[in-house]
Homo-oligomer: A and B are copies of this chain.
Amino acid sequence: MLDLTVNRDSKPPLYRQIAEQIRTQISNGRLPANSRLPTVRGLARSLGVTRLTVQNAYAELQADGWIEATVGRGTFVSTAVQQMSLEPTVGQYLTPDSAINDMLAINQVIGVRSMAMAHADPTLFPLDAFWSHMDQLRPEANQLLSYGPIQGDTPLRVEICKMLREDGIPSSPDDILITTGAMQSISLALTAVAQPGDGILVEQPTFLAVLNILKAQGLRPLHVEMLPDGPDLAQLEQRIIEQRPRCYYTVANYHNPTGYCLSPAKRQAILQLAQRYNFLIIEDDIYGKLGFDGPPPRSFKQQDPDDRVLYVSSFSKMLMPGLRVGYLLMPPAWRSQLLTLRRATDLCGTSLIQRALAHFLQDGGLKKHLRRVIPIYRERRDALLNSLSRWMPTAVRWSEPQGGFSCWVTLPRRLPPGLLYQQALENGFAFTPGEAYMLDDDGRDYLRLCFGNLSAEGIEAGVKLLSALIQQQLTSSTPAGDWLPYV
């Protein structure tokens, strides 16, 4: 029989409390696929709630694919749950590449509560508004399904320029290159400005896909430790003097994976170093519009007198990643080279989606959306920080993100690689192991928790589970298997 409780004083409505607990029990395997659930009438009676409450809970679970109802037979845990065998590639040989692979695979599995991806909540996407713009494009669709301009749809570039202008970054539509996500902007920018063997400065930890790009392009990552207010400047200058980097890649706002924000002073200092030692800056501002307490500090691009900043962003985090719309503000010196590279890569993206997005922006849809979702994400951040305070062992530390989706958790010592991750997955919970974001480590262990895509209850349940696993690992004197702790 189901073990459920409801709390009438608690904030989430009763039906959500019920749905959430059932989801948890499916996730952690207590309710395996094909388990029969109680009848609506039976569960309502045993919990002392109305039948409508249970019906609502079941309807939500059914809509999300967790359970299936067949008239006359009853309600069962869906066979789609855990249908996909999870074969994580992590462990001793975790690479950024395998970590991305795992994250995307886990994203496709119903039945895992995932804090692994820095993903906007898809259920918050303003689908009605977006879809109505798509519908209005139908008369032009034949044209919009032809080859579009290399640089991307012109009306969308106009709208992006307006956004940039509001952020204090003047530009013209001719300066904008629309790409398949920010990923392609970063990849093209690095191809354009760097030669194989060139040193590229990255924060440690950093956005793991960039480590992937550097490896694929034969570039040499140079890491500088990320502190809560930005990179360690002394270490940075030393690296610069020793290694003469071509470029510095930074996520200055609500940094992935730490959630940190570079202070205005550090931004200034880095720009001065860039001028003194003549390197370029790739500024990845993908989280910049997701500040919980007002806008972030002035961007690098806002204070870039000699056009050495290649500014990158995308709609993946502020709207939805499946739009696959990122953009690069091309400094004049690199424009022609970047366009040539785009023509030698994949020519152009889907104008239909780009034009619908342009009309959505024109209509004020993004601003309206951000006004709605930022309080929700702020609440989830709060739920995460509260849960961490409440459940985590005392030696564990974490960042306090002022925006974005990422929180960085630091354990006091190294655990056997992959073990915690594996145990969490077996219990239906996913995070990303910190080693994926690191070029080397200092004997501590890290993990990234993303809070954008789960309800406050889901976050608390996940943190509680994870805390118990960490507690267990930290207190076990002999590590599992062949592993020896490094400290």
Q: Give the interface of A toward B (CB within 8 A).
A: 97, 100-101, 104-105, 107-108, 117, 119, 122-123, 125, 127, 131, 134, 138, 141-150, 179-181, 183-184, 187, 209, 212-213, 215-217, 320-324, 339-341, 343-353
Which B-chain residue is minimally distant from A340 (CB atoms)?
Answer: B97
Instruction: Label chain A's interface by main secondary structure.
Output: helix
Judge whether A346 and B181 touch: CB under 8 Å.
yes
Contact A183 B145 (CB under 8 A): no
Q: List 29 A-B contacts (CB under 8 A).
A: A100-B150, A100-B347, A101-B339, A104-B147, A104-B148, A104-B348, A107-B146, A108-B149, A122-B142, A122-B143, A122-B145, A123-B142, A127-B138, A134-B134, A142-B320, A144-B322, A145-B320, A145-B321, A146-B321, A146-B322, A179-B346, A180-B347, A187-B344, A187-B346, A212-B340, A216-B340, A216-B344, A322-B352, A323-B350
- Copies per assembly: 2
Asked whether, in the complex, the Cβ of B142 is within 8 Å of the Cβ of A212, the reply is no
Residue of B nearest to A214 (CB): B344
Pairwise interchain contact B142-A183, C-beta atoms closer than 8 A: no
How many Å lie between the Cα of A181 and that of B347 in the bound state? 8
Complex CA gap A341/B145 in Å reads 27
Cα(A117)–Cα(B148), bound, Å: 13
**Cβ contact within 8 Å between B125 and A145:** yes
Q: Which of B131, B142, B143, B183 contacts A138 (CB 8 A)?
A: B131
CA distance A334 to B383 in the complex (A): 45
Known: A145-B322, A209-B343. 4 other contacts (CB 8 A): A148-B322, A180-B347, A324-B348, A324-B349
Q: Which residue of B lies closest to A121 (CB)?
A: B142
- Cβ contact within 8 Å between A183 and B345: yes
Expressed in whole angstroms, the minimum distance between the Cβ of A359 and any Cβ of chain B is: 16
